[in-house]
Each structure stands twice: as structure tokens, then as C-alpha cells.
């Protein structure tokens, strides 16, 4: 497992985390990646979770695209992993992993405005920025560290979404006002050094018939660390889960 340290940790939609509001705001971003071979590299930066969020959430839907779907009402449409929209999202996610920075991967992440709509908690916007998006940034950096020096030359092959694991999370479950579909443990399959490798996407949820990443490396974490979900040689295996 690779671990990246920084930002405050928290669970999936936990009210205790949301109540913390802006806990961790202003903390410097610090990264430490440790491989199974025990080699460690580190990097630090002065950007806080707040500046990461303000710099990237606005990039969800640039002005030349359609209006932010997060501001529109939810639907009960089951997403497809074969659409052009989904493939573009996964290309954006992969570019973020290659570069080790969250910005390019924001369009693949659940929209902030949708999260504010859907969560029946106090300070949903702060929870999004200081927990969800911050964890996503750390997980992207961890995945980048996994790829190592060949990150920019590694090629995305496909993203395998286990459609049979998709399930509807009803309104009022997990502190949510509205329902959505959730699918756990999709697999990001890539080629590096002539070999196939993969890692997981811990959880994706739907908004208006589109899959979005909501937890990349882990749904729950006990420390402020970035996580790579089940890195494997080959395509790996998607495990069933009942997360929400």
C-alpha cells in the first residue's frame, strides 16, 4: 500500500466529520509515499485544503461547457460506464494520476453543488472541500507515487465497472436527502513498462445518470493519508461491497 499524509481524515458522510466544519483548514499539504519495498519519497507544499478546493471545484464545468449539473435536480437514472461522458471523466482522472495533482481530475469527481444538495448535514460545503476533495487529492498523489518514474508514460487501458454491484441508496440513508446509485471497487487498468497493472476506485455514486468518483483510495480512513485501493498486477478483482 502507498500512503500519502496530509489533510484531515474522516468517514463517508459521517456527521461527526461534517460537524468539524473547516477542521484542518490552512494546514500545509504534506506528502509521503512509501512503497512495499520500503523506499520513501516526500514532498511538501504551502497550499491548504481551502486553496485546493477553490482552485479546482470551479473547474468542474468550465464556462464553455454546459451548466454545472450539480445545480440541477437528481434523477433515478442508472449510469452507464460505456458513455462518452464517463470515458472522458476517466481520462481526466488518469491525467491527474499521471501528473500527481488533483486539478485535472476534478471533472471526474462528484460535483460540489450536488453534494451540497444531497447531504442532510451541517456545513456540507466544508465537508466536501476539507474532507472529500482533500482525500481525493491525497489519493491521486498516492496513485501517482505508485506509478513511480514512469507515471507520465503509463497508459490508461480501460476502467472496469462491476455493474452487477451497483445498488440504489435510498433517501434518508447515510445522511442523504436524495437517493443515488453506488458502485464499489471499479478497476483502473493501465499499462506501464509493457505490463498490465490496476488499482481500484473505492466508490462511485450517481448524479443525473452519470457515475462520479466520490472515494478513490478508501471510503473510510483512520489517518490523514492518501491510499491506493488494492494495487495489483493484471486487471485485479472487484470485490462486492454494501457501502453508501
Share of the chain above pLDDT 70, in %: 73
Element (H, E) at 49: helix 49-56
Judged by average pLDDT, the poorest of 37-51, 87-101, 102-116, 126-140 is 37-51
SS3 content of the chain, % helix, strand, coil (to 5): 35, 25, 40
C-alpha cell at 153: 508514460
Rounded CA Rg of the chain:
17
Q: What angle do CA 210, 99, 97 make, to 5 degrees?
A: 40
What are the pLDDT digits (tens) for 104-119?
999 999 999 999 999 9
What's the rounded Cα separation, in Å, for the pair 39 and 34? 6
Question: Higher-confidence residue: 20 or 141?
Answer: 141
Rounded mean pLDDT, 10-25: 36
Domain ranges of the chain: 3-233
CA dist 140 and 138 (Å) reads 5
**CB-based contacts of 2, cutoff 8 Å, min separation 6:** 33, 34, 35, 142, 143, 145, 146, 226, 227, 228, 231
Cell numbers standing for residue 62: 468550465
Coil/strand/helix, residue 201:
strand
Say if CB 18 and CB 124 are below 8 A apart.
yes
Three-class SS of residue 12?
Answer: coil
State how beta strands 229-233 and 195-207 pair.
antiparallel
- pLDDT tens-digit readout, 176-232: 999 999 999 999 999 999 999 999 999 999 999 999 999 999 999 988 899 999 999
Give the model's pLDDT for residue 64.
52
pTM, two decimal places: 0.77
Confidence tier at 20 by pLDDT (50, 70, 90): very low
Decide: helix, strand or coil at residue 84.
helix
Confidence of residue 65 (pLDDT cuts 50, 70, 90): low
Q: Are 31 and 43 in contact (CB under 8 A)?
A: yes
Angle at 213 (CA atoms; ends 163, 119), nearest 5 degrees = 105
Torsion of CA 81, 92, 50, 112, to 10 degrees: -30
Residue 42, pLDDT above cutoff 90: no
Look up residue 103 and give its DSSP letter.
Answer: G
Query: What pairs with residue 1 in β-bridges?
Result: none
Lowest-confidence range among 27-36, 49-58, 111-120, 179-188?
27-36
Q: DSSP strand E in 78-224: where?
A: 155-160, 167-169, 180-192, 195-207, 210-215
Cα of 202 vs its chain's centroid, Å: 8
Retrieve residue 108's grid coordinates.
471526474
Amino acid at each position: 500500500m502507498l500512503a500519502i499524509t496530509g489533510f484531515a481524515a474522516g468517514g463517508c458522510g459521517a456527521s461527526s466529520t461534517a460537524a468539524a466544519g473547516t477542521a484542518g483548514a490552512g494546514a500545509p499539504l504534506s506528502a509521503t509515499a512509501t512503497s512495499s519495498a520500503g523506499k520513501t519519497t516526500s514532498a511538501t507544499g504551502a497550499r491548504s485544503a481551502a486553496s485546493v478546493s477553490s482552485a479546482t471545484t470551479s473547474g468542474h464545468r468550465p464556462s464553455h461547457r454546459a451548466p454545472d449539473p450539480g445545480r440541477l435536480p437528481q434523477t433515478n437514472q442508472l449510469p452507464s460506464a460505456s458513455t462518452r461522458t464517463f470515458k472522458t471523466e476517466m481520462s481526466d482522472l488518469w491525467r491527474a494520476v499521471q501528473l500527481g495533482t488533483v486539478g485535472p481530475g476534478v471533472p471526474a469527481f462528484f460535483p460540489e453543488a450536488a453534494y451540497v444538495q444531497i447531504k442532510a448535514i451541517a456545513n456540507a460545503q466544508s465537508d466536501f472541500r476539507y474532507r472529500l476533495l482533500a482525500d481525493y487529492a491525497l489519493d491521486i498523489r498516492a496513485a501517482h507515487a505508485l506509478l513511480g518514474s514512469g507515471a507520465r508514460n503509463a497508459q490508461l487501458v480501460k476502467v472496469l465497472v462491476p455493474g452487477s454491484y451497483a445498488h440504489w441508496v435510498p433517501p434518508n440513508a447515510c445522511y442523504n436527502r436524495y437517493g443515488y446509485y453506488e458502485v464499489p471497487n471499479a478497476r483502473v487498468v493501465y499499462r506501464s513498462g509493457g505490463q498490465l497493472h490496476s488499482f481500484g476506485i473505492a466508490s462511485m455514486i450517481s448524479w443525473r445518470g452519470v457515475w462520479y468518483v466520490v472515494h478513490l483510495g478508501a471510503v473510510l480512513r483512520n489517518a490523514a493519508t492518501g491510499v491506493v485501493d488494492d494495487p495489483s498486477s493484471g486487471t485485479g478483482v472487484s470485490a462486492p461491497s454494501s457501502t453508501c
